[in-house]
Amino acid sequence: MIKKVLKAISIPFVLSLIHFLFSDQLTRSFYLFFGAMIVLGGLIVLILITKGKSGYIGFGYLGFLTLKLIVFMLLYFDDLETLSGTDDIEKTGYLIPLLITLSIEVFGLQAVLSSQPQDKPNKIN
């Protein structure tokens, strides 16, 4: 399962690493925040799998995503407010960390969920 997850997230991870190296300080802090949230989310998924509650992984991810975006807005509200004077292309550049880290999470989560055993439907005769 871990090899499958690493294979699924390898391309977006390399893209994020390249963008991280050539970005400004604000974008790097966005990457660090979202990277820490990926690690925390991965721990939550691992705990759910080891406890045998893999049916709750998707629900837990959606709740964690909501919490993550709320915390992000609270922490970076002042920085995001200062972006109102910049042009649209520069504003779009600050969305790249969010989009790349979301793709890492989604591809990794898809690999985890596809490796979990599926419940078989009940047959009614």
CB 1 within 8 A of CB 112: yes
Which residues of the chain are modeled with pLDDT < 70?
Answer: 118-125
pTM: 0.77
Count how many residues are written for the chain: 125
pLDDT in tens, 68-94: 999 999 998 888 888 777 788 887 888
On whether the CB atoms of residues 96 and 40 are closer than 8 A, the answer is no
Residue 7's nearest CA partner among 100, 111, 99 is: 111
Rounded CA separation 24/86 (Å): 14
